Structure 1
Amino acid sequence: MQSHSKLRIASASAQPAVPGLHGWADLPDGPLSSILALSGSFRDVLAFVATCRSWCAAFSSYPNRSAFCTRFPPLLVQFNACVQAPDLPSNKGRHELRTCKVIDPINKNIALRCQIPQAIYQEMHFAGTSYGQLICCLAGYCLVVDVFSGAEVSPPRLPFSSDFESEFYVSGTLTAPLASPNSHLLVSTATSFDWPVGSDSWSELQFSDAWIVQIVELNGQFLAMDDWYKIYTLQLSPQLGLQEITTEWVGDLAPSSYVDPWLVVCGNMLLMVSCFKTMSPGCLPHHLDMSTNPAKWVEVNQLDNWALFVAGDVRSPLFSCMSPERWGGRSKWLYYAGCRSFIAHGVGDERDPSASPKLEYKRSCSRELQPLWVYPSTFYSDAQ
């Protein structure tokens, strides 16, 4: 028979530690935010969100979700990838399935999925990725598809001329996440068009000769680059507009189509990363110093504790990740999105002069989707 003291202890332990708290689902937002902040990978975040409705709601209201985009590396998405499927009928002794494959650099052996319908990435033409959204165009029609949920947004048909349909190169980018109140979809070919998300029509943009190919956000300000590598501040309201930032290149290796330059934000720095085909492996970043007039592009030999992520299509944005050693990566290295996995090599002073020229990353444009890096769209919509 139990003693009275043991009975009292058993009775007390059966009561919730906090009045009104009946289980993990009832944890208040404070402890849940602390748990979420300890996440070490996207897999941890996905597990957190899938725990229950209250935890999912806590993630939705987390005030700094965009911080995950610098703590974790982006996910590598490969389209039309071959995967082994032994249950399929044999095709000359092979049992393969073509599908979208997702690789997390932190957990390369963990299979992840994206929900883009096969017909979209096999039949439509690639125009870009932005804020976790895939942008495709075909014959004047555009489609914006969430890479991981498959949710689609269909803008009105573009008001293009007969010459538009023959254009091979079409680039598309968003000025802000789709859910933002002032989000615009910009589509550029011989002409630039603007669609305020949710509206009924496009408007033609008068950007002089500027063909906008990339938009980045730095310290709350939007910066744009055109196909001549000029830099502009982008004004979103009361109407879209561009103001060129006069820049000066320090050194002999100015940007051109030969070096495939692209913009990436690293903390408080705006970098232009160039691929020099005569160097090995040939990746060299320059930092835009806006404290001078004109602003100066200055060579960066030490990338400190940042890693860069680049894909093969020039319309796929670059990404940066801080302190990659936390997940097994390396600072001052560039990770290139390959067809099988990803390729890594040094940047700036970390370049290996003896490395094979095959380690160069090559950037071009193609109608077909090439492997690309992407962060889930949910990380771009911070709570207000």
Structure 2
Amino acid sequence: MTRPSIANRRRRRGDRSTVRNWSDLPDGPLHTILTCLCSLVDFISFSSVCRSWRAVASSVSTASLFPPLLLCPTFFRFSILSSLSLLDPASPSFSSSLSRNSNKFASIVFHSYSHGHLLRFSQNRIIILNPFTGDELFSPLLPQNRNFFPYFPLLTSPLSSPDSGLLLLTSDTLFHWHINSPSWSIHNPKFKPSGRTTFATVQEKVYALDSLDTLFVLDVSPQLHLRLAVDGLGDWAFIFQRFLVVCDGQLLLLLLVPTDELIYAQLEVYRLDSSVNGTRWVKQQTLGNWAIFVGYDCRVPGLAVENPERWGGRSNCVYFATEYGDGAWPWTVIKLGDVIDTLDPESPLFNAKFRNRPSSAWVHPGF
């Protein structure tokens, strides 16, 4: 048998050393590794290995693979942020502080969450901050003669979307900024949402639900316009809490409503049906193989995850974020159809009240 030449042996040793360079792994094996990860914590560790791994990770939708993380703020006072912690429902024992970018958000006045970002007012503009990367995006200046502090800005979709925009609804005016455009669009709607309003985007349509359960549709182009879609639910005189959720390409309305005994509540889910008979809410009996995640603040739309059993979760259930701290469990899981004791300390309605500062919220990190 002919022995390999010295050059060939060196070449083979060089090939082996190349294989040991993990940053040079081709995309195929990296995607295989991604499909084996069980939590967002693992995903974040994967994306932090090197630049090439992060590029592969950024091409994958985490929403289709993992549950969201629970982002828990700690405040000095009022809305002045002290720190942020991350909790993972796929790894309940895991807890991490976002200390790497602490200089970006320490002591800031923080107003809302939206699509994994923190939003705050500063010098008459809105700053969009990614707490995972520290990246900031500044909006154009808002009108000088307005006090925007009490209001709640929201993104209509993730910043990676070409149609992403920033919404700000005041008592009489609707402001919209298409991301990276030079100025705000301003609209004085004929029909004005009442009280706390939440927004959700489904198939390029932006919906707004107010505290009277009136649903509006926001047309962004060719010009900004707010129009009435569904005038209330009609069946309920009182509702504990309401959330909009986009699930499998459809808009859902999640309600916590009282039973015949007022100290108990139950979950009900409605799907927006736009048929030839007009737009209406249709009651759903089950969530199927989906789970819904909602926070303390109903102005922030909920998130939906398919096949939660993949990471140890439960289908046909709602994960409610509760008040974080003081040893309390940070979320509670309720199956659709279960009765909720509002006096139970683990109930999402126990000691619930509207807060003028953001509380814990579910997020899909943006990289």
Taking structure 1 as the reference length, the TM-score comes to 0.76
Cα pair distance change 1:59/1:353, threshold 3 Å: closer
Instruction: Report the equivalent of 1:188.
Output: 169
Give deviations 1:242-296, integer Å, cap 9, x for gaps.
45434784x8337x6x432111022143210112243634322112222352233
Post-superposition shift, 1:197? 2.7
Q: Which residue of 2 aligns with 1:342?
A: 330
- Indicate the SS of the match to 2:275: coil
- 1:24 corresponding residue in structure 2: 22
Instruction: Specify which of 68, 72, 97 is matched with residue 78 of structure 1.
Output: 72
Question: 1:347–1:110: structure 2 CA closer, same or farther, 3 Å change rule?
Answer: closer
The answer (yes or no) to whether the contact 2:263–2:343 under 8 Å persists in 1 is: no
Shift of 1:121: 6.9
What are the superposed Cα offsets for residues 118-168 of structure 1, whole Å, 9 maximum, x if unpaired?
Answer: 785755252x32221111236844222113223222323421545x35x73
User: Distance between the aligned counterparts of 1:224 and 1:320, measured in 2?
Assistant: 17
2 CA distance for matches of 1:262 and 1:280? 19
Residues 35-46 of structure 1 correspond to what in structure 2 (within 5 A)? Answer: 35-46=33-44
Q: Distance in 1 between matches of 2:107 and 2:26?
A: 45
Give how far 1:103 is off: 0.8
Find out whether 1:214 has 2:198 as its counterpart: yes
Question: 1: CA distance between counterparts of 2:341 and 2:177?
Answer: 48
Which of 173, 195, 213 in structure 1 is aligned with 2:154? Answer: 173
Residue of 358, 371, 381 corresponding to 2:360? 371
CA distance in 1, matches of 2:70, 2:161: 25
- 1:269 aligns with 250
Distance between the aligned counterparts of 2:279 and 2:19, measured in 1?
A: 57
Task: State how far apart, in whole Å, the 2-side matches of 1:196 and 1:273 are.
Answer: 28
- Secondary structure of the residue aligned to 2:153 is strand
Cross-structure match for 1:54: 52
Verify the 8 A CA contact 1:74 1:373 in the aligned structure 2: yes
Q: Any conservation in 1 of the 2:119–2:153 contact (CA below 8 Å)?
A: yes
The alignment covers a number of residue pairs equal to 346
Q: Structure 1: state its 5+ residue gaps.
A: 83-97, 379-384
Verify: 1:324 aligned to 2:308, yes or no. yes
- Residue 106 of structure 1 corresponds to which residue in structure 2? 90
Which of 31, 34, 50 does residue 33 from structure 1 map onto?
Answer: 31
Alignment of 1:214-363 (within 5 A): 214-218=198-202, 220-227=203-210, 228-246=212-230, 249=233, 252-253=235-236, 258-277=239-258, 278=262, 280-338=264-322, 339-340=324-325, 341-349=329-337, 351-352=338-339, 357-362=344-349
The 1-side partners of 2:283 and 2:263 are apart by: 15
CA-CA distance at 1:376 after TM superposition: 0.7
Q: 1:204-263 CA distances to partner (integer Å, 9 max, x unpaired)?
A: 223322349333233x332311324333444333333345434784x8337x6x432111
SS in 1 for 2:43: helix
Report whether the alignment pairs 1:204 with 2:189: no
Using CA pairs under 8 Å that are at least 6 residues apart, name the structure with larger relative contact order, 1 or 2.
Answer: 1
C-alpha distance in structure 1 between counterparts of 2:265 and 2:15, whole Å: 60
CA 1:354 to 1:135, structure 2 compared with 1: closer, same or farther past 3 Å?
Answer: closer
Q: What amino acid sits opposite 2:198 in the alignment?
A: Q
Aligned-CA RMSD value: 3.6
For residues 67 and 109 of structure 2, what CA distance do their matches in structure 1 show?
28
Change (3 A) 1:173 1:328: same
